[in-house]
Every structure is written in structure tokens, then in C-alpha cells.
Amino acid sequence: MHPQSRPVLLRLVARALLPLLLAASACRSGPPDEGRVRVATFNIRELGTPALTDLSPDGIGRNAQARAAAAIVKRVRPDILVLNEIDLDPAAPGDPSRNARRFAEGYLEPGPDGLAYPFAFAAPSNTGLLSGLDLNGDGRVATDADLGTRAFGEDAFGFGTYPGQYAMAVLSRFPLDSAGARTFQRFRWTDLPGNHLPPDLFAPEVKRALRLSSKSHWDLPVAIGSDTLHLWVSHPTPPGFDGPEDRNGRRNFDEIRFWRLYLEGDGRLVDDAGRAGGYASDRPFVIAGDLNARPGDTAVVYDGVAAADQLRRHPGIQDPPATARPTAVFFGGIRIDYLLPSDGLDVIGGGVFWPDPDTDPAGAALADSASDHRLVWLDLAWPSGSVR
């Protein structure tokens, strides 16, 4: 039974009993299995700084949404966790992973089923970063005086009513090669080969300044034993919230298109360090995050293909059946969150954390309380002895 069809009474009772359900959500799978790496992605619905600093004296987080999200993570117990919509701390612009560490230390580590993530990564986001230009065409340029308003967000490089809203982070049991990471926060939309910028919408000076990523694009190496797995992390803008020019649909399509060009080694892609070129490694990768695009969605089709299908149908990328199901509650349940491994990786399991309320009411209540998205995970076979 889908969550939208459950009886109202069941919802009310489950939420009233949330503290008890949290206590009942103990570890289901124990330590990681030898020869298996579990990767997960989870859009946790704008988990902000206030929730992550609201800790009781014994270190257990008090925010109900963050506790529910943490309980889900503890059930699934991924080795590597990609988080979408975790804010950057505006008080620590030089420490973008601070909130990710707070979530790990304040919500994931405590308790008998505690889950330790000694490694965290985050990088600057375009969300809520003012452009100094009139991007929404309302005849004025937003300033800091507009902080917290839609006008502020619409004149930022990526929509956010304050800096760092809707950002991203990675938590991991395995070392993250932050120095070797490539980020593409500042890559310009007009520099994307074959881009779909609306042809007559923006003034020339605006076109030259617009950035492709609504948040950023990351290629983050993860050291697993003597081998390396690359995480390709992004969170493209949702299509819609625009007009017939389809500026957001076009941007969503091109943010996803970026990964196809990156995989194909396009030399015109330039990262934030000034290094040109696409993916040059022979190591496996996983594309992870909320892509805000449905498989086969006919509302956003350019070059004869739907946005998500640019990756799902690429010969170098797998779309595992284990995760090909709804991942968010919108429109009665749609798939927009993805883990797409490279073709050579051996996928041995996976799923979406969307429990049936009839058979797992505690899990269903946690899912509803944590987010309007659901955690997605994949199990990857890894050489025996390298997973510890």
C-alpha cells in the first residue's frame, strides 16, 4: 500500500509514537560484509543548521526530523552516504563539511546502534550565492537586504533564500581524497558543449555569467583498501517553476548532460582549479544524488532524449533494477533519486527505503518523518580483503 493511501488514523498514531519508533529502529544489518561496499544517497529535506546544533547535553540530537533520518541511515548502514539538502553553516564559510560532521556526531554516532563516519566532504554551493545580476528579469538586482526572500534566491547562481541552502555532503567509513576531488561549482552554462540555454531570455552579460550547476558537480575519490571508487555527486535544479522558455527544465537537462560529457572525456569541461578535461581515470564510479528527473519524462526532452535517460541509457552506465522504483512522494510516488554505477561494477543488491506501513509501521513512520524523499542504496561487490 502506498503511503498516500494509508488511513489517516494510522499516520496520526505513528507520529504520536515517533520516540518509541525511533527506539525500536535498531541496527538491522550489523557491520559491513567482507567483499561488499554499500553506497547510499538520501535527500533529507533541507536539514538546516538550527537542527544540527540543537543537541541535548548527552550529545543525542533533539530535532525529530534529523533523528528520523538518522534512524533510517542506521537501519540501512551504508558505508558511503551522499546527502542532498543539508545546509552549509553560514557561520563557517571556510568549513563546508561542518554540518555533515554535526549530523554524524550528533545523530548517527550516539546510541547502541551508533554508526561512525570518520570522513566527511563538502564544498561550496551555488545556492543562495548572489550573482550581482538580475537573473529573474524583475528589473532589480537582489542584495543582502533581500536575504530570506524569493527575490534573493532567484538572483542567486542557484536558488536559495540564504547562502548554502539545499547544499550537499558526503559521509564515509573510507578515506575521502579531498585533495584529489574535482568540483565544478563555477563552470559556466554557456561553456557546456551543446548547451540548451534559452536562446532569447538573458542579456549577453547575464549569459556570460550564468553557472551551470545549481549546487555543484563533484568527482570525489573514495579510497577503499588499495582501490578507488569515484563518487559523481550533483543535485540538479528541478524542472518547472518557470515559464514557456523552460529555463529550469533546460538547466536540469544540461546539469545531467554534464555527466555524460564528463564520462566521455570532453576536454572543454574545466573544474574550479582550472584543470580542463573529463574523466581520465579507469577506476569505477557511481553517479549519486537527487537528479530531479523522472525516467522517460516527456516534459523535459532535448536532443530526442529525456533528461535522466541521458545517463540511464548510456552504454558506460548501469541502471540497476534494484533501485528502479519511486524514491519521492510527489505526484503519488516518482523516481528522481539515483545511484548509477559504471558499467563494470558488480551490483549485488540494493533498494529504496520505503517500508509498507502494514508490515513495518515503524519504518513507514520514520520515512514520513525524515523526508519527502526516500533513501536509496546499492551493494557493490568489492575485492575480498579490501573492505574492512
- In the prediction, which pLDDT does 57 show? 60
Residues 214-228 as b or e (16 or more Cβ within 10 Å = b):
bbbbbbbbbbbeeeb
Query: Helix (H, G, I), strand (E, B), or coil: what is residue 154?
Result: helix
* Pairing assessment for the beta strands 80-86 and 36-47 based on DSSP bridges: parallel
Q: Which one of 90-94, 238-242, 282-286 scores highest in mean pLDDT?
A: 282-286
DSSP state of 98: H
> How far is the C-alpha of 292 from the C-alpha of 385, rounded, in Å?
37
Query: Helix (H, G, I), strand (E, B), or coil: what is residue 101?
Result: helix
- In the prediction, which pLDDT does 60 show? 64
How would residue 69 be classed by pLDDT, with cut points 50, 70 and 90? very high
Question: How large is the average pLDDT for residues 348-359?
Answer: 97
> How far is the C-alpha of 66 from the C-alpha of 363, rounded, in Å?
15
Contact 286, 231 (CB under 8 A): yes
How would residue 16 be classed by pLDDT, with cut points 50, 70 and 90? very low
**Residue 11 predicted with pLDDT over 70:** no
Contact 77, 37 (CB under 8 A): no
pTM: predicted TM-score of the whole model, two decimal places = 0.91
Q: What is the CA radius of gyration of the chain?
A: 20
For cell 533533539, name the residue: 62
Query: Helix (H, G, I), strand (E, B), or coil: what is residue 337?
Result: strand
- In the prediction, which pLDDT does 143 show? 98
Contact 185, 123 (CB under 8 A): yes
| DSSP sequence for 339-388 | EEEBTT--EEEEEE----TTT-HHHHHHHHHH-SB--EEEEEE--TTS--
How would residue 222 be classed by pLDDT, with cut points 50, 70 and 90? very high
Report the percent of the chain where pLDDT is more than 90.
83
- In the prediction, which pLDDT does 58 show? 60
Rounded (to 5) percent helix, strand, coil in the chain: 25, 25, 50
For cell 559523481, name the residue: 232
Cα 199 from chain centroid? 29
Query: Which residues are CB-contacts of 292 (< 8 A; sequence separation ≥ 6)?
Result: 235, 236, 237, 238, 239, 252, 336
**Mean model confidence pLDDT for the chain:** 90
Question: How large is the average pLDDT for residues 357-379?
Answer: 97
Question: How large is the average pLDDT for residues 145-157?
Answer: 97
> How far is the C-alpha of 133 from the C-alpha of 117, rounded, in Å?
40
The identity of residue 145, as a single letter, is A
Q: How far apart are the first and last CA of the chain?
A: 38
- In the prediction, which pLDDT does 384 show? 57
**Residue 163 predicted with pLDDT over 50:** yes
Dihedral (CA of 181, 96, 238, 376) sign: positive
> How far is the C-alpha of 240 from the C-alpha of 254, rounded, in Å?
14
Q: What's the pLDDT tens digit per position in 285-312?
A: 999 999 999 999 999 999 999 999 999 9
Contact 85, 43 (CB under 8 A): yes
For cell 528502479, name the residue: 324
Residue in 131, 176, 177, 179 with CA at minimum distance from that of residue 156? 131
Report the percent of the chain where pLDDT is more than 70.
89
- In the prediction, which pLDDT does 304 show? 97
- In the prediction, which pLDDT does 206 show? 95
| C-alpha grid cell, residue 267 | 576536454
**Residue 147 predicted with pLDDT over 80:** yes
Higher pLDDT, 17 or 312: 312
| C-alpha grid cell, residue 375 | 533513501
> How far is the C-alpha of 86 from the C-alpha of 65, rounded, in Å?
12
> How far is the C-alpha of 317 from the C-alpha of 292, rounded, in Å?
18
Structural domain 3-127+164-381, CATH architecture: 4-Layer Sandwich (3.60)
Contact 373, 350 (CB under 8 A): no
How would residue 240 be classed by pLDDT, with cut points 50, 70 and 90? confident
The alpha-helical segments, DSSP class H, found in the chain are 8-16, 18-23, 49-53, 64-76, 98-103, 150-154, 204-209, 247-263, 309-312, 361-370
